[in-house]
């Protein structure tokens, strides 16, 4: 596969569909062939046309190689006609549970847009790489992470092939950081049933962690599952609220199976209706198999309501907030997806602090670029990319934001006895910054990474 960057500002430069198609054409011309052409990071509500591409538009780039344009959320993608053909997606194809195959209301033909569970098999096929290419990609990502001060890196939805490949690359010394690998849904469920042993791929550098389920979609893709309708629903009906990827009963059964097998649970929920489904499922799992420190992780947790935070506290749930959304999508959450009130209350880190809930933050790369100081800064500043303040009452202190990326992150993963703080007996994973964030007057984003050490060994030093 070859890749093209379709991001819009502030990440990239694409602002219209014509510009995006031009980028794809250039990459196709530079690297001709019949393998997949993947466009990353397009954001329909950042394009002047305010819509997704169509397969006909992608056909104007090529009809002889399959093309996949992946939405910035990674929860949906548009493919060209050749790719539709290869996957046998026609006017008659029914949508899988928890997904959509968008069809033209007049002709009934697929438009090329595949959402949630309908997009996943196509994305996996397009992104599939031979082992050597995988190693090259992982190596270059590890370098970027090291330059950003990350000592432990994570794959939050790992296939068996990725677990084997990354574990092997780590053993060969090709990945300098510690790795946390979260087996994806079916794989983790197989491990829970005991039909596969994933721990054999673990080592002192590779930690096989929570099983990850994807309970709902993306708010900026209109698939996050909300209890109240989207603010400006775009092409959807006025009462549109998104939808769950996994129905309530299946989610209950899966969460219970994972938890009762003694594995940590991690569930992706952006919308508050999705969060309700997860909390119900977790409560039932806990009843079936009582445990007192299981640390189920709620991934994104963006629209957590105050009553849900209280329930999380009671049930021992630990959220990982996607705080960088305030910067990248905050203006559009306020004006388009959620409206001013809900946008101001998203990623409610200060409310979590007030209740004594331990939480982390994340960047969800490739959704947003790898930028540790931006990750630190967003929950502290709650400023959007246009420079506006969004929900200042949910601002947290620098110290809390640091803990969410260090000691509380280690705790959430169950690795607090090894990493996450500087103490005798821990593994000396360290980052040296150009200034002390706790005493820094200026913009936290101006702090530079000077050195990164893993296990006391320097893996990055800033060039002079
Ligand atoms: Zn997501």
Asked if CATH classification 3.40.50.720 holds for the domain at 136-421, the reply, yes or no, is: no
What pLDDT does 412 receive? 98
State how far Cα 74 lies from the chain centre: 8
Distance in Å, CA 58 to ligand 1 centroid:
25
Distance in Å, CA 73 to ligand 1 centroid:
6
User: How many Cβ atoms are within 10 Å of 356's Cβ, its own excluded?
Assistant: 7
Q: Concatenated DSSP letters for 170-202?
A: HHTT---SEEEEEEBHHHHHHHHHTSS--GGG-
Distance in Å, CA 363 to ligand 1 centroid:
10
User: How many Cβ atoms are within 10 Å of 28's Cβ, its own excluded?
Assistant: 18
Distance in Å, CA 297 to ligand 1 centroid:
14
pLDDT tens figures, 391-439: 999 999 999 999 999 999 999 999 999 999 999 999 999 999 999 999 9
What is the arrangement of strands in the sheet containing 457-461, beginning at the earlier edge strand?
430-433, 449-454, 457-461
| 3-state SS assignment for residue 8 | coil
User: How many Cβ atoms are within 10 Å of 415's Cβ, its own excluded?
Assistant: 18
Distance in Å, CA 217 to ligand 1 centroid:
6
Distance in Å, CA 268 to ligand 1 centroid:
6
CATH T-level fold of 2-127: Diaminopimelate Epimerase; Chain A, domain 1 (3.10.310)
Distance in Å, CA 223 to ligand 1 centroid:
10
Residue 150 and residue 449: Cα distance in Å, rounded? 10
Distance in Å, CA 442 to ligand 1 centroid:
31
Distance in Å, CA 326 to ligand 1 centroid:
15
Residue 224 and residue 276: Cα distance in Å, rounded? 13
What pLDDT does 132 receive? 84
| Residue entry with tokens 């910035």 | 72
Distance in Å, CA 218 to ligand 1 centroid:
6
Distance in Å, CA 32 to ligand 1 centroid:
32
Q: What percent of the chain has pLDDT over 90?
A: 96
- pLDDT > 90? residue 114: yes
pLDDT tens figures, 151-196: 999 999 999 999 999 999 999 999 999 999 999 999 999 999 999 9
Distance in Å, CA 212 to ligand 1 centroid:
11
Distance in Å, CA 299 to ligand 1 centroid:
8
Distance in Å, CA 457 to ligand 1 centroid:
33
Distance in Å, CA 70 to ligand 1 centroid:
13
Range 228-238 average pLDDT = 96
Instruction: Tell me the chain's radius of gyration from C-alpha atoms.
Output: 22
Q: Concatenated DSSP letters for 151-166?
A: SEEEEEEE-HHHHHHH
Residue 244 and residue 239: Cα distance in Å, rounded? 16
For residues 376-394, one letter each, b for 16 or more C-beta atoms within 10 angstroms of the residue's C-beta and e for the rest, the string is: bbbbbbbbbeeeeebbeeb
Query: Number of helices and strands (H, E) in the chain?
Result: 17, 17
Distance in Å, CA 439 to ligand 1 centroid:
34
> Taking the domains of the chain in order of start, what are their residue ranges?
2-127, 136-421
Lowest mean pLDDT among 23-27, 131-135, 379-383, 391-395: 131-135
Distance in Å, CA 267 to ligand 1 centroid:
10
Distance in Å, CA 302 to ligand 1 centroid:
10
């Amino acid at each position: 596969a070859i890749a093209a960057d379709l991001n819009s500002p502030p990440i990239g430069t694409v602002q219209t569909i014509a510009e995006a198609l031009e980028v794809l054409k250039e990459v196709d011309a530079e690297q001709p062939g019949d393998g997949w052409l993947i466009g990353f990071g397009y954001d329909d509500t950042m394009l002047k046309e305010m819509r997704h591409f169509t397969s006909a538009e992608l056909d104007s780039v090529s009809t002889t190689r399959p093309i996949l344009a992946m939405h910035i959320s990674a929860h949906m993608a548009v493919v060209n006609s050749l790719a539709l053909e290869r996957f046998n997606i026609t006017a008659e194809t029914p949508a899988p549970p928890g997904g959509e195959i968008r069809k033209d209301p007049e002709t009934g033909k697929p438009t090329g847009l595949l959402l949630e569970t309908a997009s996943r098999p196509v994305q996996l096929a397009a992104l599939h790489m031979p082992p050597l290419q995988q190693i090259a990609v992982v190596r270059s990502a590890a370098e970027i992470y090291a330059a950003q001060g990350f000592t432990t890196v994570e794959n939050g939805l790992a296939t068996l092939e990725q677990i084997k490949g990354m574990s092997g690359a780590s053993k060969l010394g090709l990945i300098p950081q510690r790795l946390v690998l979260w087996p994806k849904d079916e794989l983790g469920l197989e491990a829970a049933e005991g039909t596969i042993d994933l721990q054999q791929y673990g080592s002192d550098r590779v930690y096989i962690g929570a099983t990850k389920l994807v309970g709902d979609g993306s708010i900026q893709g209109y698939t996050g599952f909300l209890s109240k309708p989207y603010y400006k629903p775009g092409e959807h009906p006025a009462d549109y609220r998104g939808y769950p990827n996994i129905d309530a009963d299946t989610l209950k059964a899966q969460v219970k199976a994972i938890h009762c097998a003694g594995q940590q649970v991690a569930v992706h929920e952006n919308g508050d209706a999705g969060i309700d489904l997860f909390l119900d499922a977790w409560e039932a799992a806990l009843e079936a198999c009582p445990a007192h420190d299981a640390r189920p992780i709620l991934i994104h947790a963006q629209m957590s309501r105050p009553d849900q935070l209280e329930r999380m506290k009671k049930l021992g749930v630990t959220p990982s907030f996607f705080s960088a959304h305030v910067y990248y999508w905050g203006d559009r959450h306020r004006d388009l997806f959620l409206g001013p009130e809900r946008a101001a209350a998203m990623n409610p880190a200060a409310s979590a602090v007030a209740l004594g809930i331990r939480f982390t933050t994340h960047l969800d790369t490739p959704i947003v670029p790898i930028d540790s100081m931006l990750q630190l800064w967003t929950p502290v500043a709650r400023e959007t990319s246009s420079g506006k303040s969004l929900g200042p009452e949910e601002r947290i202190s620098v110290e809390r934001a640091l803990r969410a990326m260090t000691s509380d992150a280690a705790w959430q993963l169950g690795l607090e006895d090894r990493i996450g703080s500087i103490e005798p007996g821990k593994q000396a994973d360290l980052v040296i910054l150009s200034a002390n964030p706790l005493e820094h007057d200026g913009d936290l984003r101006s702090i530079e990474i000077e050195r990164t050490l893993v296990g006391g060994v320097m893996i990055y030093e800033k060039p002079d």
